[in-house]
Amino acid sequence: MYLKTIGVCLTTILGSALCQIQASEFDQYLQSKQIIDAQFKIQQPKELDELLSVLSAEDSKTLPLEIDNNTIIEQLNLSSQKTELTGMIITPDFAQFEQDLGSKEVQKLIKKNLIQNCPIFFEHEYQKRNPYLVEFDLSSEKNHYKLELKQKDCGI
């Protein structure tokens, strides 16, 4: 019985330590303001939305932002439930690529690339521990791609 009690205590301590290691500075700030709890569950969605609205406006001042040689993000909107990204695909000869593969195959490839970058889109623990979605609205010369990235897509 004594060993079982020690095991439970160690598990609790290690679990708490791991949560703190994974928590971003923003998560820690939200916890200090009691917007999210110790398990990163959102307690005050309205306050979080207000804070994220201000951050979206500030981040928008630095846009457009080239995130790689292929994509420019023109608009960013954050909320307690989702991130919305609007941008353009600027890859040279992308129209030819689209024509060769077809729109559906291109969309699959874009989604695959987004999934490989899940840690960027689900950076904070509150995004991982609450229902959360990342929506993409990407335009090329000829097509428009609307995609969404869910936690389950990222194995979260």
Place of tokens 């950076």: 123
How many whole angstroms separate alpha carbon 103 and alpha carbon 143?
Answer: 8
Q: How far apart are CA 21 and CA 47, in angstroms?
A: 25
Q: What is the C-alpha separation between 20 and 2, in angstroms, rounded?
A: 27
DSSP summary character for residue 155: T
Query: In this predicted structure, what is the pLDDT of residue 68?
Result: 74
Task: Please give the pLDDT value at position 10.
Answer: 30
Model pLDDT, residue 123: 94
- Residue 24: the pLDDT is 94
Q: Quick one: CA dihedral 137, 140, 144, 148, positive or negative?
A: negative
DSSP 38: T
Residue-level pLDDT at 62? 87
Contact in structure between 76 and 60 (CB atoms under 8 Å): yes
pTM for the full model?
0.80
Domain boundaries, given as residue ranges, for the chain: 45-154
Task: Print pLDDT tens along the chain (156 aa).
Answer: 332 323 332 333 333 333 444 789 999 999 999 999 999 999 999 999 999 999 999 988 888 988 777 889 999 999 999 999 999 999 888 999 999 999 999 999 999 989 999 999 999 999 999 999 999 999 999 899 999 999 999 999
Cis status of the peptide bond prior to 45, with omega within 30 of 0: no
What are the residues whose beta carbons fall under 8 Å from the beta carbon of 26, sequence distance 6 or more?
124
pLDDT number for residue 149: 96
Q: Which helix (H) or strand (E) holds 71?
A: strand 71-78
Q: What is the pLDDT of residue 18?
A: 38
Say if residue 118 is exposed, middle or buried (CB neighbours under 10 Å; 0-12, 13-18, 19+): middle
- Which backbone phi and psi does 75 adopt, to 5 degrees? -145, 145
CATH of domain 45-154: 3.30.300.250
